[in-house]
Amino acid sequence: MLIANPVYDTVFKYFLDDNALAKQFIGLLLDVTILELEIQPQEVPLKIVNPEEEEKPISIIRLDFKATIRDEKGNRKVVLIELQKLKNAADLFRFRNYLGSQYINKENSYIENEERIPVPIIAIYFLGFNLPFYPDIPLIKVERNYLDICTKEILSDKIPFIETLSHDMILVQLPALKKRRRFEIEKILSIFDSKAGIYLEIDEKEYPEACKGFLDRLHRVMKQPEVVRDLVYEEMLNQEVRQNYGKYLQLKEDIKIMEIKFLEEKKLKEKAKIREKEVIAIAKQGQKIAIINLKNKGMSTSEIASIFNFSEEEIKGLLA
């Protein structure tokens, strides 16, 4: 059976556009029953544009859902589920900033007894890299406990005031999924293949019955011309980014070799500084080229600024 790889943002969004599957998938991840689920508007969609066609957004990096869940005590609870995919650890500060914006967004609340109540946040992160200490654990859940500091007693009851000021977190380490398929959720998540290309050839018999709806949805991608087109564009952008990053890594390796070679020479520090300036200049030139290419593809200055974590004035200066 041929399916599209949901590790790609385009496929990932199409995969979760089906509300019933999204409820099932996120419910399995959080190990809760989701009663209601609605996707929230996205603030910063990444747009890649084919110059020969009209502008269309093709890749949404983060998805937010407002959900009504039934907790372990059988109580109904409204939460905001923030679901993001991080390709590398360098994305950390960008997503940290986004999480902060979710806390201050007054839309993430509801009215109860004529009082506005902030909605608790649950964060789900799909990681394209391994974390230290636990590289082989596919799913890590970070929970918060209330603790009496003096007696060290764990307090069982949850307080809304505290719940809205902190959050639980689910971490999915994609590279670790191929090594372990012990449980149903690990088997389902194994279709997120961070090492494979756009499409995957799978044997559907190897997957549990609960996975059938997911596989069918991913198989239907091939019958969606616009999704396939956007998926190809996304892969083209990924290749461009990988090429530039590869050049940067090669330059870093060159510096390392040079430092070893001239370790005992008196002018080592001076030469290393000169080389470092050259690397920065080359990296900036490559960055400028990437920005110009994105602008030529139709991306707005504000969207480019959000990708590179620059101000719009800095982007305009590089494009001048």
- Which DSSP string corresponds to 114-164? TEEEEPPEEEEEEESSPPSS-TT-SEEEE---EE-TTT-PEE-S--HHHHT
Q: Residue 260: its pLDDT value, please?
A: 65
Name the pTM for this structure.
0.64
* Average pLDDT for 186-201: 83
* Average pLDDT for 97-105: 80
Q: Residue 12: its pLDDT value, please?
A: 87
- Residue 319 to residue 250: CA distance in whole angstroms: 26
* Average pLDDT for 85-107: 74
* Average pLDDT for 214-238: 82
| pLDDT band at 177; cut points 50, 70, 90 | confident
Sheet holding 76-86, edge to edge: 33-39, 62-70, 76-86, 121-127, 168-173, 139-142
- Residue 210 to residue 247: CA distance in whole angstroms: 43
Any idea where the domains of the chain sit in the sequence? Answer: 2-223, 228-319
Q: Residue 139: its pLDDT value, please?
A: 93
